[in-house]
Structure 1
Amino acid sequence: MFIFTRSATAEDEARSRQYEFDIPRTSRTLALHELSRQAGGLLVAYLSSDDEEEQSLVGPVKGRLTVDEVLRVLLRSSQLGSRWIEDRMVSVEPRPPTEATVELPSEAVARSLSYSSGFDLSRFEPEEVLVLGWPIRDLTLSVAPAVVMESDELEAIGASTLPDVLRYLSQSAYSRPEGYRASGAQYAEMRGLGPDTALILINGRRAFPSANSLASSAFDLNSIPVTAVERIEFLLDSAAAAYGSDAIGGVINIVLRDKVAQPTVELRYGGTDGGAEQERVTLSAGLNKDRFHGAIVFDYFDIGGLLGEERSLWRDQDFRRYGGRDHRSPISSPGNVSSLSGNLPGLSAPIAAVPRVDSTPGTTIDDFAATAGQPNLESLLRYSSIVPETTRRTVTATGTARLTDQITATGELLYVNRDSTYYYAPPVLASMPVPGPSPLSTGNPYNPFGRTVRINRLLTEYPSQVQSVDSEWLRWVVGLHGDWDRWSWEVSALRSDEQATATLDNALDPLAALRALANPDPALALNPFSSGPIGSETLLASLRLPPDVDEFSSGGQQFTGFLQGPIWTLPGGPVTAVLGAEWRSEMMRASNEVARSFDRDRDIVSGFAQLRVPFVNDKLRATLPGLRELMFTAGTRLDDYSEFGHVLRSQMGLLWKPHRDLSVRVSGGSSFRPPSLYELYLPRISVVAPVTDPARRELAAVTLTMGGNTDLEPVTARSLTAGLVFSPDSAWNWNISADWWRIDMKNRVVSLSPQVMLAHEALFQDRIVRDQSTDAERPGVLRAIDASRINIGGVKTAGVDLGIKADFLTELGRFTPELQATWFDRFESSDVPGQAPVERVDLASELGSILDWRAVLSLRWKRGAFGAAMFARYTPSYDDAIAGVRTGRTIDAQTLFDLQGSLDFGLLYGGESRLHGLKLWAGAVNVFDEPPSFADVGDASGFDSSHSELKQRSYYIRLEKEF
């Protein structure tokens, strides 16, 4: 017998204290987890092994209540009761037949003590049921593997943006840095399948492609501030019929904060060597009443720019020092002069650098003698942004109102205003002709060569070219959900509208520049033959184009309704079903002076059904050895697309528990992603471009057509996942999982280069136009190529995800070590029909390098007011390549270490201190300032941007105060 002593006064205070609860209708075990979390870490020992009791739906419970009041609701109509063991521990156990005191068996006591650091959800098999979103709960009924990053883990990571968070998820095959795209957009690259294959949800509802990302048809994760996020849920399978059939790479659900206990101010400052300063101010507040609660978060986030000049790799692009090529450009300042044919007049070479110092009032041929054959070279990336300048202003608001005991209304608002500025090199004169004297013209008065030559010149007289993207996004959701007998239901409406304006400034008018190079008037002619200014300020201003402005819009609306509840009862427990319907409208619009405009919409009407069938439960284990639990899940979704008609896709899963601590799971399904409106309806444009014709071995000027293709077919995929979860009954709270997965994706939508098409001309005869041939052994002259988007090839990939986690309490504090690792067994990519697939594992690729291993090791520690977290991100060595061809170089393995410490002044000095609610965090990413390894795959950038970044070490400090 175990005897517990406690203070009656402390227990009475704990039992009389009220908390603000918002527990949705869900299974009893998950409801008790929410009770523990929302009551400030109350310790709950759940001592029942009755599967039907565990899975029974209870709730919702909302309002300012005591723990006992909540327990009365959660344990109603059950054979369970509750008993306070001490002021911070409650036992939930079968009601005794008499009023005699129930002795706790030693196993139960050990289990209750294992929760001494909080109610651990992993002890209740979280892999079996994924809670996706708020307020939609338990809607997937899935057994597919899932990863949940709660707010405390996000806090320990210390990431300033959501894309930064994905670097700590091994299933994210790679991450592109902020400056990879001029818009500053960053996407989820789950399994390496492409940014448009992961289905992004916000509070359980679809996020439409961002307006600045129409070409990628993807959601920009930088749109949402990490300070407004409560948790992130990753469903690593396509088994999400309730949300859509297009989750080829899985589902990512971003759950926004819906509760703020006290008004809070958060300040953050960070940066890196040379720039990229981060400044953040976050204000959050909440309202908690008996029948209403809500939260609002204001976030201002500013990131300063970081230019290539600040990093040696871009400051000097002569990569011969690493054994690579010299990627410096002959477009420099001063520039270079080259002949149209042969050597330059009076010189022994076809090219010469413009002298940096003139020895005569006007440059002569003699001044070029010393530079003949020695061009000036410039590292153009020194002017480019490594990190774009970005400012984002965000408001998120959520609210829940209990209209009756059975009906609850919810609302959600998200407003984002963002601008991003990306810098390029100044305008250039690239291989432009400069006329010399002729019978019809005196030519350029500064040309000393007496005939037409070509000039390459970087116009540093202008500021850097700038692309700015300004966007504004408004999204709102309203919903009603409630109970009807044993069923729960919900209806909701969503509206999303986003506009983006992209502006290119400081660009040069090439036609005006050609005229100025040929103008015989010295006052109106450009002088590229001198190291001084190339022209007067007035002349240079006349050559500058007005800003080029493009406008983009995206968004849509969605109405969803569903019913969830038991339909009958089997010996293994209640059979649960979800039945739902959805209507969705999507739109994309673009206005571009060159590519013209398009404005398209798409309607989708859907119905879905999901089922969870428990064949065997814990009660039958005596009669069925090795079959403690057996559960089957199935889901199907019928979508009716306005362009493609009806599409039916299904998913299935099976969970088997041969032992209390061991679960085996299998899930699989099919996916369907229609071509985006951008891919279908982007207006076609035709330009005349030079192309090398391999069949005739000549350079041909062809009409090249680019744009959308209304004949595109949908992308399809099939996936299969099988794995196990081992969670032994231990004070260390071990949770070990291993999952093998396979995905087969077909009919990818791509844009092939003209040279690839010509290299496989027999496969693209309907897209290549030639003249009638008069020579049987030689094809006709090449005239046109249709390089618009096309369905081609696919990806077959497979691998294993491994997860090991523990959570235990010692005299030194609470420790949470965790290892995540993903091993790619194969990643076969088919990019040309009829050609053998290319195995991309461990091969550097411009499309994103797939490594055989990716691992993240973390250790979190907490003791009283102090906390710390350490992360190690490992990438192995892999083969360097250019366009898929190995170069013989190996890109070195790398391990990056991140470190953070925290201090809660309120806990340190006591709850009554004026410092109550004051918390401090400080940390560094890439603590040892490891630079990226040089890689040929990066071409002129010099590194593999899918696994490295030029920011290197960054630091931050964060201060939070509750009032």
Structure 2
Amino acid sequence: MAVLACLAAPQAFAQTPAPKADQPVEEVVISGSRIKKDTFTSTSPLQILRNDDAALAGFTSTAELLQGTAVTGGQGQINNAYGGFVTDGGPGANTVGLRGFGPTRSLVLLNGRRIAPSGTRGAVGAADLNVLPDAIVDRIEVLKDGASSIYGSDAIAGVINIITKKNVDGLTASMKFSAPSDGGGEEGRFSLVGGFVRDRMHVSGSYEYYERQPLTLGDRDWTQCNTDYRRTSSGGVVGEWGSFDFVDPATGKPKCYPISGTGSNGVTINTIGTTSRTGVGAAGSVGTSFNRWRPNAAITTGLVGFEGVGGGSNNLNVRDTFDPRMLNRSLISPTKNHNFYMQGGLDLAALGDAELYWELMFARRESSQTSYRQLSLDYMRGSPLIPSTLAFSNFLPPQPITNGANVGVRAFIGFGNDQSSQEADYGRAVAGLRGALGKTGWDYDVAVMHSKASAKYTFESFLTNRLAQSLNVVASGSGYSCVDTSGGCVAAPALTTDVIGGKLPSDWVNYVFRPVTGTTKYKEDTVSASLTGKLLDLPYGKMKGAFGFEYRKYSLDDTPPIDSQTGNLYNLTSATPTRGSDSVFDTFAELDIPLINNQPGFHELTANVSGRWSDYRSYGRGSTYKIGAAWSPVKALTLRGTTSTSYRAPALYEQFLGPTSGFLSQQNDPCNNWDAAANVGTIRAANCAAEGLPAGYSATNSITVLNSGGANAGLKAETSENATFGIVFQPALGTGWGDLSMAVDYFDIKVDNGVARAGATSILTRCYDDPQFRSGGGFCRLVNSRVAGTNALTVNDSYVNLSTDRVRGFDYTARYTNNVGIGKLRVNLSVTEYRMQANKLFADDPIDDVNGTIGNPKFSGNLDVRYDFNGWRLYYGLDWVGKMNSYEYLGQNPDTSTYKLDTPNYFTHNISVGYKANTWDVTVGVRNAGDKKPPMISAQAGYNRVGNAPLYSGYDFVGRSVFLNASKSF
């Protein structure tokens, strides 16, 4: 996805113009502080995004705007391109994370108050940007600094504060529409913004409807054939990219694997699995013995009607992996969003000239995704559904749908497309009272807030019990009937060429393939109060303070479909309910101290100090602090810096996630061949022997993995140390030369006690290599005792405090404005450079720095140029994702490696022109004017791909798009 260059001010270092003599000085609050000031100066780096500039850049939503800034470019942001992947918040949710961290480490506010998490399924822990209004947004302030001492939990990497327009008087209707030149993925937004202002009362609000059409893999040429994209390398001679791709003998063209995000060995379809036997091989096969077969009516010897495509030393890629219906999968999933927002205030002329204020918001998201499903259908040995030519086969031991019998034949069926959908509602209400405490110079603000998210999610799945019932049949007339006819059972189809090819009876499909629905609810209530005002008159100004408290209570209730809870979803994981609640009581204090001003070498020196004490019901108490200072030796130069601590309370799903089952291959059992010569005398061998495992032990059962919350394991909050240091330069250029502002800010964030899951393989390794083994606790407490008789293992991979994460780097920002000709020129530049993006899971692990590797660019940036004259606006924007390279990280030589593991610098260009009259406004433009496609990398390198491109939100998957914005005021 392209990124935004429209920054009204690159940092909040530009002071407001001096007021005229007869005007009062207006004091305002900027993000990162609770103290009103008469300037926009800040000790912390602050980036401001203006909504009108976003419209010129062609953004159709606040979500796109937030996900497109340079500061979010260090890590992929979850957007509608992730509908086919497992993400926190569920499919369709859009989230944002700062500084290369995930979304739970960045705090999103609306008018200074939290946006509660929302989404579907159990892992709901971050704000879904879909709930945010767009047309009534005035600006967005992005605090690029830790701020837990000001705002509490989650503000580790920074804070995003969306600020709405105030004092709206009148009605404005507007629309935004964007149409990709290659079709698919069209976006449209219609909005109404209105309000009125009276002497003692103001009310304003908006209604918005946003719709995005689906974009499928088949809509773009670069996603229609996902290949390995490798090259040959032999004797120092390397070939072209793609020269090592497997060529399908059936077509003579490179093999496509569109269902696989990583490349070859995609889903097997249109084949059957049997006991090995002699037969005729398909083109490209070797040998005469096969256990995978593809229907071929021309075969009259061996296994009549089938050609061999697998078994022995055959390359499995000879088999079928492509079905045109795979290209119906969502590249960008569609959505329909409704948003209703209202705000208002009433001057009471009492209680210190108090204002009674309120906000109401309701949002609904309706999103969906299209996927592709393979069906591995196990026919029982001896079943009348198996033709006589295949009756010889005894393929596998009993499976979940074979009613205790062995599998005679397994059919790998290309079933076709399936659908999932989400309907998510979000409501938020705020009511408060603010005013002055007499003539003391102190103001008060008391508020209550209630947020509630309620969602349901539906997806289609084969039901294990219905499959088993339908496969247990007897002959009945010219067909078959279920042995157990209860529940309207429909007999499974006989194993034929059509069935293997995915042509299935609709009545049977409707019986065994069913939509299942779960629900997710998240509720949050907050009560807060604060006092702000003057503490002391110091020689160089007023020392101001802010003091207050906040109480917050929140709960999560996710109830998966009953068939998921009972393990009845065929070949899908099971999940149990995620239910839990927590609460916190916070007190906070902040001081703003003017130390020196208007002295030689000290044009201005100010300090800001804040602290917060928190008491969580779940894990106890903690405190954070922040110390910042800004020094201007001369008016044109400011040096600023902060040092602070921040924290993130474990999300409710990290504490209370209901056990979700998964499986590891039995090959991961650490005791396999524990008595081999290489293991003699090792701690692992002694531990395996202590469990009574025989010599030469080889596991025969897969390892059950239960992913769960960590509340019972004593999960604690993440803590972090944050530091920022910057230089701001605003030289006086002289008459006619305009205004120039530049800033360089260094940031360094280290998170300790990071909440993470260790991973089942790591848990097993550390348990069986522990000298104290099961008597010592440690990771062995997460490994259940082996099941008697089968020696099967179960691993509890719960959330624990493990990881360390660190990022550091620089922000470079510049802004230039000048009157040029008949108009005004504005140029904004914002670049983020990462010097480190590193993590380690265990304390004794080496730090793993992924900076600059695929998905973690060192650089990202935006440039925008705007020229305004006589109502016209001309705009040019350049978005940049830096080049990435994973060769060194993966131990590969770029000159000889068969893998493509690097991407070039990626630039996209945005152009628009607009005209604003008294009551109407029109803008037309184009995003990604050069139709820049994402770069390509090889498969099998551990990176998820879309087509052959890395799955990374900084790349534009849609392509060139023409947009039109129009508004009319009444």
TM-score band w.r.t. shorter chain? 0.7 to 0.9
Cα distance change of structure 1 residues 675 and 132 upon mapping to structure 2, 3 Å threshold: closer
Deviations 1:29-76 (A, max 9, x none): 98xx5xxxxxxxxxx66589xxxxxxxxxxxxxxxxxxxxxx45449x
- The Cα shift of 1:223 comes to 1.5
Residues matched between the structures, number: 816
- The Cα shift of 1:467 comes to 1.2
The answer as to 2:641 corresponding to 1:641 is no
Question: Among residues 749, 757, 765, which one is paired with 1:751 in the alignment?
Answer: 757
The answer as to 2:497 corresponding to 1:530 is yes
Residue 422 of structure 1 corresponds to 369
Residue 163 of structure 2 corresponds to 255
Matched residue type, 1:943: A
CA distance in 1, matches of 2:219, 2:654: 38
Are the equivalent residues in 2 in contact too, given 1:828–1:837 (CA < 8 A)?
Answer: yes
Question: Among residues 218, 239, 264, which one is paired with 2:126 in the alignment?
Answer: 218
SS of the aligned residue for 1:154 comes to helix
- The Cα shift of 1:840 comes to 0.7
- The Cα shift of 1:214 comes to 5.2
Cα distance change of structure 1 residues 902 and 943 upon mapping to structure 2, 3 Å threshold: same
Are the equivalent residues in 2 in contact too, given 1:880–1:890 (CA < 8 A)?
Answer: yes
- The Cα shift of 1:767 comes to 2.2
SS of the aligned residue for 2:510 comes to helix
CA distance in 1, matches of 2:25, 2:385: 91
Are the equivalent residues in 1 in contact too, given 2:275–2:393 (CA < 8 A)?
Answer: no
Residue 631 of structure 1 corresponds to 606
The answer as to 2:288 corresponding to 1:348 is yes
Residue 252 of structure 2 corresponds to none
CA distance in 2, matches of 1:336, 1:385: 26
Residue 889 of structure 1 corresponds to 901
Residue 337 of structure 2 corresponds to 392
- The Cα shift of 1:332 comes to 6.7
The answer as to 2:491 corresponding to 1:544 is no
Cα distance change of structure 1 residues 140 and 627 upon mapping to structure 2, 3 Å threshold: closer
The answer as to 2:322 corresponding to 1:378 is yes
Deviations 1:225-270 (A, max 9, x none): 3223111011111135232143101111011233333311112222
Question: Among residues 480, 485, 488, which one is paired with 2:443 in the alignment?
Answer: 488
CA distance in 2, matches of 1:414, 1:270: 26
SS of the aligned residue for 1:680 comes to helix
Cα distance change of structure 1 residues 765 and 139 upon mapping to structure 2, 3 Å threshold: farther
- The Cα shift of 1:799 comes to 0.5
SS of the aligned residue for 2:744 comes to strand
The answer as to 2:358 corresponding to 1:411 is yes
Deviations 1:197-233 (A, max 9, x none): 0011111011111133751511111211322311101
SS of the aligned residue for 1:472 comes to strand
CA distance in 2, matches of 1:957, 1:189: 29
Cα distance change of structure 1 residues 661 and 934 upon mapping to structure 2, 3 Å threshold: same
Are the equivalent residues in 2 in contact too, given 1:712–1:790 (CA < 8 A)?
Answer: yes
The answer as to 2:555 corresponding to 1:587 is yes
Residue 421 of structure 2 corresponds to 468
The answer as to 2:657 corresponding to 1:682 is yes
Residue 877 of structure 2 corresponds to 871
Q: Which segment drifts farther, 664-673 or 145-154?
A: 145-154
Question: Among residues 562, 566, 586, which one is paired with 1:606 in the alignment?
Answer: 586
Matched residue type, 2:950: D
Residue 909 of structure 1 corresponds to none
SS of the aligned residue for 1:559 comes to strand
CA distance in 2, matches of 1:856, 1:132: 24
> Runs of 5+ in structure 1 lacking a partner?
1-26, 34-43, 49-70, 76-123, 775-779, 907-915
Deviations 1:736-768 (A, max 9, x none): 011111011012222343234334443633323
SS of the aligned residue for 2:653 comes to helix
SS of the aligned residue for 2:327 comes to helix
Are the equivalent residues in 2 in contact too, given 1:139–1:578 (CA < 8 A)?
Answer: no
Residue 935 of structure 2 corresponds to 933
Are the equivalent residues in 1 in contact too, given 2:279–2:290 (CA < 8 A)?
Answer: yes
CA distance in 2, matches of 1:695, 1:818: 60
SS of the aligned residue for 2:793 comes to strand
Are the equivalent residues in 2 in contact too, given 1:616–1:629 (CA < 8 A)?
Answer: yes
Cα distance change of structure 1 residues 358 and 476 upon mapping to structure 2, 3 Å threshold: same
Matched residue type, 1:897: H
Residue 7 of structure 1 corresponds to none
Cα distance change of structure 1 residues 366 and 599 upon mapping to structure 2, 3 Å threshold: closer
Deviations 1:762-819 (A, max 9, x none): 3633323465999xxxxx9562211122221211221111101111111142111111
The answer as to 2:571 corresponding to 1:567 is no
CA distance in 2, matches of 1:726, 1:144: 15
SS of the aligned residue for 1:476 comes to strand
SS of the aligned residue for 2:288 comes to coil
- The 5 Å alignment of 1:86-125 reads none
CA distance in 2, matches of 1:208, 1:334: 44
Question: Among residues 922, 928, 938, which one is paired with 1:920 in the alignment?
Answer: 922
The answer as to 2:117 corresponding to 1:209 is yes
The answer as to 2:780 corresponding to 1:765 is yes
Are the equivalent residues in 2 in contact too, given 1:815–1:862 (CA < 8 A)?
Answer: yes
CA distance in 2, matches of 1:812, 1:359: 79
Are the equivalent residues in 2 in contact too, given 1:133–1:255 (CA < 8 A)?
Answer: no
CA distance in 2, matches of 1:176, 1:685: 22
- The Cα shift of 1:482 comes to 1.4
Are the equivalent residues in 2 in contact too, given 1:879–1:888 (CA < 8 A)?
Answer: no
Matched residue type, 2:935: S
Q: Which has the higher contact order (CA 8 A, sep 6+)?
A: 2
CA distance in 1, matches of 2:35, 2:425: 26
Residue 401 of structure 2 corresponds to none
Matched residue type, 1:508: F
CA distance in 2, matches of 1:746, 1:289: 52
- The Cα shift of 1:367 comes to 2.7
Cα distance change of structure 1 residues 933 and 455 upon mapping to structure 2, 3 Å threshold: farther
CA distance in 2, matches of 1:449, 1:225: 63
Question: Among residues 46, 52, 63, which one is paired with 1:163 in the alignment?
Answer: 63
Deviations 1:501-550 (A, max 9, x none): 11113x222454355556464543434541466443222222222x2111
Cα distance change of structure 1 residues 449 and 791 upon mapping to structure 2, 3 Å threshold: same
CA distance in 2, matches of 1:368, 1:279: 51
Cα distance change of structure 1 residues 215 and 136 upon mapping to structure 2, 3 Å threshold: farther
- The Cα shift of 1:277 comes to 1.7
Cα distance change of structure 1 residues 639 and 196 upon mapping to structure 2, 3 Å threshold: same
Are the equivalent residues in 2 in contact too, given 1:880–1:888 (CA < 8 A)?
Answer: no
Residue 193 of structure 1 corresponds to 101
- The 5 Å alignment of 1:437-456 reads 437=382, 442=384, 444-445=386-387, 448=390, 450-453=392-395, 454-456=409-411
Cα distance change of structure 1 residues 802 and 533 upon mapping to structure 2, 3 Å threshold: closer
Matched residue type, 1:226: D
- The Cα shift of 1:193 comes to 1.4
- The Cα shift of 1:341 comes to 4.6
The answer as to 2:618 corresponding to 1:716 is no
> Runs of 5+ in structure 2 lacking a partner?
1-11, 85-90, 231-240, 246-254, 260-264, 282-286, 396-408, 481-490, 566-574, 674-697, 771-778, 893-898
Matched residue type, 2:722: S
Matched residue type, 1:444: I
Question: CA RMSD of the aligned region, Å?
Answer: 3.3
- The Cα shift of 1:297 comes to 0.5
- The Cα shift of 1:185 comes to 1.2
Are the equivalent residues in 1 in contact too, given 2:42–2:630 (CA < 8 A)?
Answer: no
How high is the TM-score relative to the length of structure 2? 0.78
The answer as to 2:960 corresponding to 1:958 is no
Residue 840 of structure 1 corresponds to 850
CA distance in 1, matches of 2:50, 2:420: 36
- The 5 Å alignment of 1:19-58 reads 46=19
- The 5 Å alignment of 1:137-176 reads 143-172=43-72, 173-174=74-75, 175-176=77-78
- The 5 Å alignment of 1:172-321 reads 172=72, 173-174=74-75, 175-181=77-83, 183-212=91-120, 215-239=123-147, 241-272=149-180, 273-320=182-229
SS of the aligned residue for 2:149 comes to coil
SS of the aligned residue for 1:552 comes to strand
CA distance in 2, matches of 1:151, 1:648: 36
Cα distance change of structure 1 residues 295 and 560 upon mapping to structure 2, 3 Å threshold: same
- The Cα shift of 1:314 comes to 3.3
Are the equivalent residues in 2 in contact too, given 1:402–1:409 (CA < 8 A)?
Answer: yes
